[in-house]
Structures are given as C-alpha cells and as structure tokens.
Chains A and B, each alone.
Chain A
Amino acid sequence: EDQVTQSPEALRLQEGESSSLNCSYTVSGLRGLFWYRQDPGKGPEFLFTLYSAGEEKEKERLKATLTKKESFLHITAPKPEDSATYLCAVQAHSGYALNFGKGTSLLVTP
C-alpha cells in the first residue's frame, strides 16, 4: 500500500530562518510527487510536481527536491505570508488519484 509520511507535523520559524520540510514515501512505481500549499479554510493550491530522482524545482522562496525515497521542500528566508500547511502527495503507477500525507503546519513569525 502506498504511504506518504510528512515531518515535522508542525514547524515554527522566525522570519528569515531557513528550514526544510520532509516527505517520505513508499509507492509501487512513482508517476509523480506533488507539493501543495493549504491556507486555513481553503482548498490546497498546487506548488510543484517532481517526476524523477534528482529533479529540483523552485518558486520564489521555495525549492522542492526529490530522491528515490523522499522529497524535501526547502524554504529560504521565509516571510510571515509563507505560513500555511504544506501537503505532499504521490501518484502511483497503480492509479491516477493523489495520495496525500497529513501535512506540515508552518508558522513564520515576524
């Protein structure tokens, strides 16, 4: 069975304090790994898709990387507006639906 585990569950950073969120996965053939951002009371919003080990993608202060067993979401010099829950999801060769982890709740304080 496909499994996605995110850590830590919650993270509190000072503005400007860089850090990384982890997403470990076990899947029977990975089609793609997705990162989403979810703000309170809203639906998840797409950030990145990674397809193969070694791939990296960047968007503003966020950079996502992928290995054969895990993905990292690096946040460089975060700002309070980066506060949100970050969700990782995998799509396996066995199907089309995304299997989500439980997320990391990030709080960035001024």
Chain B
Amino acid sequence: DSGVTQTPKHLITATGQRVTLRCSPRSGDLSVYWYQQSLDQGLQFLIQYYNGEERAKGNILERFSAQQFPDLHSELNLSSLELGDSALYFCASSVSGGTNEKLFFGSGTQLSVL
C-alpha cells in the first residue's frame, strides 16, 4: 500500500458528461501529480500541484482541470468527455515535488466513456 488513496476505482459515464476524480496524498506529502495511462500512449503527465499551487503542466487538455485543497487532497475534473478520454488516471504524491524525489502512486481510477 503506497498510502495514496484514489476514488472512485471505476467510473463509467457517457460522452459529453463531466466527472471528478479524487486523490488523497500520503501523510506528509505536499505535492500531488496526475497522470493518464492508456495502452497506446503509456503514462502521460498531466499536472502537478505543490501545497495548493500549480507547479507544472504537461499534456493536459483544456477540458480538464485540477486543484489541490488546503487539506492537500486533490481533484481532477474532466468535462465534455469524449470516447478517447477512456483511460486509467493515476494520482501520485511526493514530499516536496522537487528534484529526484520518488513518486508514490495510487491504484488509479479506471474511466470508461461510452
């Protein structure tokens, strides 16, 4: 158990809908990362937060947004969903989000858009 909690584990929804994925980092970790994993693209970095502030942005679509709350949990919001958004979404956390820190990953949320 990595200590990172993601909910829900599975989510099935329809095209055009909006969903929210939730992540609680390990106790003491201040930085949260979101990744998307699909069979053809592998693990793609979406966005990183540190202590409530956005620190880095990757290949995140404009339809997607995220935030980190004062209690350090994070939410990833996906809107106007398309079939191609179906993927496994992982949250990871690290102590300070700095150099050479290892990331601890949650078990992921499997999103299916029908």
Contact = CB atoms under 8 A, between A and B. Distances in A.
A96 B4 contact: no
Interface in B41-75: 41-45, 48, 55-56, 58
Query: Which of B4, B92, B106 counts the most A-chain CB atoms under 10 A from its CB?
Result: B92
A100 B92 CA distance: 13
Interface residues of A, number: 23
A82 B48 CA distance: 31
A32 B58 CA distance: 18
Interface stretch (A20-28, A37-45, A57-65, A68-76): A37-45
Contacts of B104: 46
B42 A103 contact: yes
Closest 7 CB pairs of A and B: A43-B105, A102-B42, A100-B43, A32-B100, A46-B102, A97-B45, A44-B105
Contacts, number: 60
B43 A44 contact: yes
Query: Which of A31, A98, A99 counts the most B-chain CB atoms under 10 A from its CB?
Result: A98
Contact of B99 (A89, A96, A100, A103): A96
Given A45-B2, A96-B55, A51 B105 contact: no
Contacts of A107: none
B95 to A, nearest CB: 12
Nearest to B34: A97
A97 B43 contact: no
A91 interface: yes
A96 B98 contact: yes
